[in-house]
Amino acid sequence: MILALETSCDDTCAAVVDGARIRSNVISSQAAAHARYGGVVPEVASRHHLELVNPVVDAALAEAGVGFDDLDALAVTRGPGLIGALLVGVATAKSLAAATRKPLVGVDHLHGHVAANFLDPEPLDPPFVCLIASGGHTQLAGVREPGAFDVLGQTLDDAAGEALDKGARLLGLGYPGGPAIERLATEGDPEAFDFPVAMAREPGLDFSFSGLKTALLYAVRDLDRGELERRRADLAASYQAAVVGQLTAKLERALEDGDWQAVALGGGVAANSLLRERTTDLCEERDLRLKLVPGELCTDNAAMIASAARFVEPTPYPDYLEWDALA
Ligand code: KG4
Ligand code: ZN
């Protein structure tokens, strides 16, 4: 039984996980607090985490129906993420673990996104390829054991989620941009604009999204106000298709390169229905097993951190008191 905390970005999260079973998974989203800035303001995030972390931990324990005595260990995201935001979770977890003399597990956030796939129902066993696409990271992870993964390829500039967030901003949509673009795209034509699916023809498994963002900027600039209004949905649909097209092109190449039998998705962008559809098609064509966790386990949450913690050596009291956050 593990109590985990996750505060690496703008969600304050605590969860209790018992083996592969989620007992509680509390997420307090700060999205509304950051929306008016069009993105996460790190110092605002840290201050919100500070206010929210205790009530969120209380809620996670209460919902799970457990107390500190029932816990085998605590776990926390040590990095990567925003330093001030991470510090709140790390300091809280250290304090709670020390006060109760429990071991503490330090978890890598990206390992957490992979480990969301190890939870009930129908946990996925390695080996598999996991495409992690979030606001801060885009990676193809080769997962051969539950406690570690190899980076097969990653973005050379922006993350996929970042490209969607910045694209949404150019289109005058809200934050977070991924869901906003997804909603508007349902009314648009994905072939209306010919955005570059960068890197698709390049060798290797790395990604690049900054050129795509610039292409959208130019397309928006070339339209007058009325045209932009009329074609906003087409822009959203075409832009989303280009982001998803690059993700699936590289995933397909990773599958061609290696002898993988199963595929998983992770990170906030994995909640995107076009990406889920395309990946489903790709896996059906190749007769591969595909694991798609529900949207609330794709975006940041602490259940995935507890899940990863099961496969990491716990640090006994009081050794973790020296820990720092790893931005
Ligand atoms: O994993 P996550 O919650 O936080 C990070 O670790 O970054 O991912 C957040 C990212 C944001 O960029 C957000 O726009 C994107 O995931 N996102 C989506 C969707 N839901 C969240 N992108 C596309 N479609 C969605 N439905
Ligand atoms: Zn994340």
Give 282-325 pLDDT, tens digit per residue.
999 999 999 999 999 999 999 999 999 999 999 999 999 999 99
The reported pLDDT for the residue numbered 188 is 98
For ligand 1, say whether the CB of 178 is within 6 Å of any of its atoms.
yes
The reported pLDDT for the residue numbered 152 is 97
The reported pLDDT for the residue numbered 215 is 96
**Which of the four pLDDT bands, split at 50, 70 and 90, describes residue 35?**
confident
Q: DSSP label at 321?
A: G
The reported pLDDT for the residue numbered 39 is 86
The CA distance from 167 to 14, in Å, is: 31
The reported pLDDT for the residue numbered 296 is 96
Our mutation pick for probing the ligand 1 site, out of 299, 300, 301, 304, counting the most ligand atoms within 8 A of Cβ, is 299
**3-class SS at 291?**
strand
The reported pLDDT for the residue numbered 101 is 98
The reported pLDDT for the residue numbered 205 is 96
Say yes or no to pLDDT of 81 above 90: yes
Q: Tell the burial category of 65 from Cβ atoms under 10 Å away from its Cβ (0-12, 13-18, 19+).
A: exposed
Q: How far is the CA of 130 from the centre of ligand 2 (A)?
A: 14
Say yes or no to pLDDT of 127 above 80: yes
**Which of the four pLDDT bands, split at 50, 70 and 90, describes residue 235?**
very high
For the segment 188-196, the average pLDDT, to the nearest whole number, is 95
pTM across the whole model:
0.96
For ligand 1, say whether the CB of 30 is within 6 Å of any of its atoms.
no
For ligand 1, say whether the CB of 272 is within 6 Å of any of its atoms.
yes
**Which of the four pLDDT bands, split at 50, 70 and 90, describes residue 182?**
very high
Kindly report, residue by residue over 239-278, the tens digit of the pLDDT: 999 999 999 999 999 999 999 999 999 999 999 999 999 9
For ligand 1, say whether the CB of 152 is within 6 Å of any of its atoms.
no
Taking alpha carbons only, the member of 280, 288, 303, 290 closest to residue 258 is: 288
Kindly report, residue by residue over 90-102, the tens digit of the pLDDT: 999 999 999 999 9
The CA distance from 75 to 305, in Å, is: 7
Q: How far is the CA of 14 from the centre of ligand 2 (A)?
A: 14
For the segment 30-41, the average pLDDT, to the nearest whole number, is 88
Contact between 44 and 114 (Cβ < 8 Å)? no
- Strand 2-6 to strand 11-18: parallel, antiparallel, or no bridges (unpaired)? antiparallel
For ligand 1, say whether the CB of 81 is within 6 Å of any of its atoms.
no
For the segment 157-186, the average pLDDT, to the nearest whole number, is 96
Which ligand has the shortest distance to the CA of 247?
1
The reported pLDDT for the residue numbered 36 is 85
Q: Which residues of 309-327 are buried (b: 16+ CB within 10 A; e: fewer)?
A: bbbbebbebeebeebebee
Contact between 14 and 2 (Cβ < 8 Å)? no
For ligand 1, say whether the CB of 265 is within 6 Å of any of its atoms.
no
